[in-house]
A = this chain, B = another copy of it.
Amino acid sequence: MTTNQLISQIRKKKSFLCIGLDVDLNKIPKHLLKEEDPIFAFNKSIIDATHHLCVAYKPNTAFYEAYGLKGWKSLEKTINYINDKHPEIFTIADAKRGDIGNTSSMYAKAFFEDLAFDSVTVAPYMGKDSVEPFLAFENKHTILLALTSNQGAFDFQTKTIEGKELYKHVLETSKTWENSHNLMYVVGATKAEYFADIRKIIPDSFLLVPGVGAQGGNLHDVCKYGMSANIGLLINSSRGIIYASNKEDFAQAAAVKASDMQKEMEGFIN
């Protein structure tokens, strides 16, 4: 999917909501556990109920890998279902990968070709040659960790190097990499006051923003400081939407929560 197609979907749906499909078998409604593939059954219901309210889905690969082969199969069925039924939706493999060059190429192949995601999250610690193999895929997007939403973000990401925080070095350096137009960035909503500085470095890039809701971030502040001329935001919510109810009405409850967020977002787009 091109960035322009994503922007056009955001304007059409008046939503920049991304729904995180982080499925934990201990948290989904009990009646689904008797399904042959409870994870996929859960995702399918959530997707059927919410696809008109969001522009992106983001399965975090950890939740699938934890169930081994069966989990990987559920991930494959989930991405195939989205691509078949709702090809207009932007898909994110939240995998936080990154390795030396030839190895990163294999990860890119895994997520862009084998699983056919539109994008993948990548960690910057190993630098340029660990990220460029992902960037080589045209109309695929590499979402680089910049400033994450967790407490540990303050351990290294905000440390100062030559008068500037590490995450700003990551932003600036990444702009010099080949095919950097295929970059987006992860910036946590819990640090909304940082968005103004970030927009000085990357005025137009899309930001994937976790941490609204369960982790305490605030949509108003993120939009105030982080929105670009073309919106430039994908706000992720996982637990707040998908676990809105653990009863038989879980999908409808998720749709209500997603609809609340979409309506709030509509106000910021207009």
Q: Using a CB–CB distance below 8 Å, which chain A residues touch chain B?
A: 22, 24, 60, 62-63, 65-69, 71-73, 76, 94, 96-101, 103-104, 106-107, 109-111, 114-115, 123-131, 145, 148-157, 159-162, 166, 169-170, 173, 210
Contact = CB atoms under 8 A, between A and B. Distances in A.
A101 B148 CA distance: 12
21 contacts: A22-B103, A62-B99, A63-B103, A66-B107, A67-B114, A71-B110, A123-B125, A123-B126, A124-B156, A126-B150, A127-B155, A127-B156, A128-B151, A128-B155, A130-B150, A131-B152, A156-B166, A156-B169, A156-B170, A156-B173, A160-B162
A179 to B, nearest CB: 15
A150 B154 CA distance: 26
Contacts of A128: 151-152, 155
A76 B65 CA distance: 12
A157 B125 contact: yes
B22 A110 contact: no
- Pick from A68, A103, A148, A155 the residue with the most CB of B within 10 Å: A155
A110 B110 CA distance: 18
Given A96-B98, A124-B125, A161-B161, A104 B62 contact: yes
A107 to B, nearest CB: 5
B62 A125 contact: no
